[in-house]
Amino acid sequence: MVKVSIGVPVYNVAEYLPQCFDSIIKQTFTDFEVIIVDDGSTDNSFSICQEYVAKDSRFKLIHQENKGLAGARNTIIKNVKTEFITWVDSDDWIEENYLKLLVDTQAKTDADMVTMGHKGYEDGKFYIANYADMFSKYENSEGAISAKYMIEDLIRFNLMLSGYWGGIDRTSIYKGVFCKEGYNHEDISSRHKLYLRANKIVAIPDMMYVYRGRSGSITGQKLGTYKKAKEILDTFIMAYNEIIYIAELANFNVDMYYKVVLDMLNSDAWYIWKVNDEDKDALAKYMEDYLKRIKLKFKRINYL
C-alpha cells in the first residue's frame, strides 16, 4: 500500500490543471496516489484528468454530479485507504520537495498534522509572508501549535493556515469527520474537528505550496446580489457559531473566540465590496442587526 493519498477536487479549472498535475508528478517523494474527483465540470477539465490517469498509474479519477467543493472533498475522504492524506487544490501547484519535507517532518515529530507556509500568486506576482516569525509566537517548546490557536486561525488568519491544502494529515483523524456541504468555505465548518483530534500539530515555515488567487475562485468571486451575499454570510455565521460551541466544549477561552468573531464580522472589507452597489446598504443593515444580537449574547456570557 502506498503511504500518502493526494486529494485533488476539480471543477472547471482546465486552464490550470496541467500545471497542478505536472507539479505532483515531479515530486521527489514518489510513494503516493492521486485521488481526483471531477465535480461535474462543464469545461475540458474531465478530459484533462483522463489524460493524466492514462499516463500515470498513480492517478485515480472519480466523476460525479456537481456537489460543490465540500462534496468533492467528502468523496475523496471516503476513498482514502492510505496512512496519510494531503490536499492540492486544482488551480494551485506544489514545488518538487513539498511532499518529501512534509513526510520527513511527520516522521521526525510523530505529529498527526504537519502544515507549512505558502506562497501567494496572482496576476504574475508572488506574495511571500514571514512564517518563521508568525509561527514562533504560537509554538510551544516542542515546536507544536495548540488546537486552540489553529481553531482561532480559521476566523482570524493570524497564521494563515486555515485551508485543507498545504499540509499532511494522518488519515485516522478523519474517521467520522466530513465537510459540511452547502458551505462556501468548508474549511471553516469542519477543519476544527481535526485539530481537536490531533495528538500534535506541527507547522514549518517553508513555502512550497503555491496558492493561486483568481477572480473565478470561490474566495475571489463577486457575490453580486443581496440574496446571494446573505446566503454566504449565513453559512459563515453558522460556522462561527459551531466553532464557538466546540471551543466551549474543549474548555477554551470562549471570550477570546467571541472577540475574534466580532472583529471579523465588524470588518466590511471582506463582503460589502463584493456586492452590487444597490444592495450594499441592505447587506450592511443585515450585518448590523446580527452583530447586535451576538454582542448581546457576548455580554451575557461575560456577566455570568
The series of mean pLDDT values per 10 residues for the chain, 304 residues long, is 96 97 98 98 98 98 94 96 97 98 97 95 89 88 87 77 91 90 67 91 95 64 66 74 74 72 63 66 76 66 46
* Contact call for residues 248 and 152 (beta carbons, < 8 A): no
| Strand duo 113-122 + 125-127: pairing | antiparallel
CATH number, domain containing residue 15: 3.90.550.10
pLDDT at 223: 54
| Radius of gyration for the alpha carbons in the chain, expressed in angstroms and rounded | 20
Q: Give yes or no: residues 275 and 198 share one domain.
A: no
Q: Give yes or no: residues 88 and 196 share one domain.
A: yes
Domain assignment present for residue 161? The answer is: yes
Q: Give yes or no: residues 14 and 43 share one domain.
A: yes
Q: Give yes or no: residues 163 and 288 share one domain.
A: no
Question: What's the whole-model pTM score?
Answer: 0.82
pLDDT at 5: 98
Q: Give yes or no: residues 179 and 118 share one domain.
A: yes
User: Hey, what's the cell of 79?
Assistant: 476513498
CA 104, distance to chain mean position in Å, is: 22
Domain assignment present for residue 220? The answer is: no
Domain assignment present for residue 60? The answer is: yes
As for how many domains the chain has, the answer is 2
Domain assignment present for residue 71? The answer is: yes
pLDDT at 237: 74
pLDDT at 128: 87
Average pLDDT of the chain to the nearest whole number? 85
Q: Give yes or no: residues 180 and 280 share one domain.
A: no
pLDDT at 220: 47
pLDDT at 296: 66
User: Hey, what's the cell of 82?
Assistant: 492510505
- For helices 147-156 and 226-249, the axis angle rounded to 10 degrees is 160
Q: Give yes or no: residues 197 and 259 share one domain.
A: no
Q: How far apart are CA 103 and CA 6, in angstroms?
A: 13
pLDDT at 304: 40
Looking at 212, 240, 259, the residue that finishes a domain is 212
For residue 298, give its domain range: 226-303
Q: Give yes or no: residues 147 and 270 share one domain.
A: no
- The conformation of residue 171, written as its DSSP 8-state character, comes to G
Left (φ > 0), alpha (ψ -120 to 50) or beta: where does 143 sit? left
Q: Give yes or no: residues 99 and 157 share one domain.
A: yes
Helix (H, G, I), strand (E, B) or coil at 31: coil
